[in-house]
Structure 1
Amino acid sequence: MAETSRTERSVATRADDHSWKGRIDTAVSRLRNPAYTGANRCFPCTGVNLGLTAVAALAVGTISPPAGALVGVGGLLAVWLRGYVVPGTPELTKRYLPDRVLAWFDKAPDGDALGGIDPEAYLRAAGAITDGPDGDIVVTPATRAALIDGVAALDSDDRLARALADTLSLDPADVTVRPEGVGYAARVGGQPGGRWESRLALATDLAVHDLFADRVGGWLALPADTRASLLGAFRLSLDSCPGCDGHVTLGSDTAESCCRAYDVLVASCESCGSRLFEVDAALAGGDVAA
């Protein structure tokens, strides 16, 4: 009897803990501003607000240390949940921070995700690309045929999510994909898990990943960020759209974050308009443009 009572209390405690966790998660979701957090977080704005929070906390802390600590904690929570503390931060950041500073925030990590691998040489050795009649790089016929079939099979967001979960060895129930801004984003357990230029770009990455896993020795042994970089290089090599067979062209465009505008190099399909690859022109230098 006593054992049954203890079991019942344990079950009740776990249920109560779960209930409180659910309430906290709900409260956090209501307070969070997805337009400026997660995958949409603006790092220049975040940096400015963290600096302002630190200054305010130190100023108040000289008068009352406890009050200064509260200001600091409150500011950090606001930046985490809302993106920034000071209203109008994007306009203030755009107006008062030099573009070279804003561009620094947008730069990719200095580390070489390819680990010294030459992407063109790797894709050639994998049989994925070759030289076309005019000397340009083109996708091999066998790869193109397999890619078209693979993309066609990923014809719903649910299938994209399941394929992505399988690629990352995650529980499919934890992975979702959906349109976000002008691109497509994945979430894992509600947290940002990746972003692609379009739905077709995501489907292409997943289809090529499966193709390489079957045909290229050592593919799965590569680090995840190396594989991602090679998949991006493959998308840049596409001369025809894997979704509609339209012609893919390389051009330029202007992209905007919440506080700066910058030039990007873009590979997109002339027929369906799907964007297959995008990179900051300042980071790419002349390599992609060539």
Structure 2
Amino acid sequence: MASIADLRRPEYTGRNRCWPCTVLNTVVLLGCCLVLAVLSFPLSLGLLLAGAGAIWLRGYLVPRTPALTARMRGALGRGPDRPLTGSIAPDDTDDDLGERTLTTLLEAGVIRPEGERLHLDERFGDDWRGEMERLRTLPTGRLIEATAAATRETEVELLDADRPLVVLTGPDGGEAWVSRPVTIAEVAAEGTLATHVPTMSHRDRIAAARALRSFLDRCPICETRTEEVKPNRCCGGVRDPADLSGTVLVCPTCNEALYRFDDG
């Protein structure tokens, strides 16, 4: 016999509770109780108590509410199902890498300040977009080869799912799972930087490629204009608190996250 602990769904209750879904399920429950009350008040009362208990313990009453809300959000373009984007750039412990990369990009004219904002150089942007267009037309095998060439000493394979993921395995065995749009954007950026800033090291180019994604104004796959959104906190969305911070640059058509800004 199932205990109360077995019925609980902590991923959808407490601090993780999605209140819009809770309200929706409560409205559905009350509607069913009103209809049933016409036939039998005791049964209606029993349904009310059982349903309220289910919503309290599980976060929802209607079966598969989290899956349904995720699908509805995707259909309505309410933000990406995968807000974290991954990167072909390995995690780096060099504290000066970010500042050094920014300085190099500014000195090379790849990005330029205008007032309080940074803007991508038009010529670099055109070449970058051209390289992204070339990469997205490549067969899967050729794209994997291009990614391996850009990352060096990294094994690259494609995880063929509903949305293909590029899996990179480094020399130390560490893995990174990267979406196809992000892979194309970063591989294209690394190659374009090699042409525009030939003195830049490979390590710095890879790091810069990740940062340059913040300048994407169009999706690397479908060229839809990108949008900045807040990650969705619905129970059909992500549950990792780290995924809920910052603003996310997304493609509303592909429903893919392209970059996450740190609002802190």
**TM-score normalised to structure 2 length:** 0.51
Instruction: Trace 1:220-239 onto structure 2 (pairs within 5 A).
Output: 220-222=201-203, 226-239=204-217
What residue in structure 2 maps to residue 157 of structure 1?
140
Residues 170-185 of structure 1 mapped to structure 2, 5 A cutoff: 170=153, 174-178=155-159, 184-185=165-166
Query: Could you tell me which residue of structure 1 aligns to residue 199 of structure 2?
Result: 218
Q: Secondary structure at the match of 1:218?
A: coil
Query: Helix, strand or coil: the match of 2:231?
Result: strand
Contact 2:111 2:120 in 1 (8 A): yes
Alpha-carbon shift at residue 220 of structure 1 (Å): 2.6
For residue 124 of structure 1, what is the amino acid of its counterpart? L
Q: Distance in 2 between matches of 1:216 and 1:150?
A: 16
1:264–1:278 Cα contact (<8 Å) kept: yes
Question: CA 1:149/1:136 → structure 2, altered by over 3 Å: closer, same or farther?
Answer: same
Equivalent residue, structure 2, for 1:250:
228
Structure 1, residues 26-68: CA drift from partner, whole Å, max 9, x if none? xxxxxxxxxxxxxxxxxxxxxxxxxxxxxxxxxxxxxxxxxxx
Aligned residues of 2:159 and 2:165 also touching (Cα < 8 A)? yes
Q: What is the CA–CA distance in structure 2 between the aligned matches of 1:201 and 1:214, rounded to whole Å?
A: 20
The answer to whether residue 139 in structure 2 is matched with residue 139 in structure 1 is no
Q: Which residue matches 2:260?
A: 278
Code of the aligned partner of 2:167 = A
Determine if contact 1:93/1:259 at 8 Å carries over to the other structure. no
The answer (yes or no) to whether the contact 2:151–2:206 under 8 Å persists in 1 is: no
* Secondary structure of 1:253 counterpart: coil
Aligned pairs, number: 176
Q: Which amino acid aligns with 1:214?
A: T
Q: Which amino acid aligns with 1:240?
A: R
Q: For 1:146 and 1:121, how far apart are their aligned partners in 2?
A: 21
Q: 1:267 to 1:169 in 2, by over 3 A?
A: same
Partners of 2:184 and 2:100 in 1: CA distance: 24
State the identity as a percent: 18
Structure 1 residue 241: Cα displacement: 3.3
Q: Distance in 2 between matches of 1:263 and 1:183?
A: 25
Cα 1:193/1:201, change in 2 over 3 Å: same
Q: Does 1:265 align with 2:247?
A: yes
Following the alignment from structure 1 to structure 2, what is the Cα–Cα distance between the partners of residues 210 and 228? 9
Which residue is equivalent to 1:169? 152
Distance in 2 (alpha carbons) for counterparts of 1:110 and 1:211 = 22
What is the deviation of 1:93?
Answer: 8.9
Inter-CA distance 92–268: structure 2 relative to 1 (3 Å threshold): closer
Per the alignment, residue 209 of structure 1 pairs with 190
2:111 alignment partner, one of 105, 129, 134: 129
Give the residue type in structure 2 aligned to 1:253: P
Looking at secondary structure, tell me which structure has more helix per residue.
1
CA distance in 2, matches of 1:130, 1:261: 30
C-alpha separation in 1, matches of 2:206 and 2:152: 15
Code of the residue aligned with 1:247 in structure 2: it is R
Tell me the CA shift for residue 200 of structure 1: 1.3
Residues 1:193 and 1:129: Cα distance change in structure 2 (over 3 Å): same
Distance 1:249 1:95, change over 3 A: closer
Q: Secondary structure at the match of 2:146?
A: helix
Structure 1 spans left out of the alignment, 5+ residues: 1-87, 98-108
* CA distance 1:118–1:250, change in 2 (3 Å): farther
Distance change in 2, residues 1:238/1:93 (3 Å): closer
CA RMSD of aligned residues (A): 4.1
Normalization by structure 1: what TM-score?
0.47
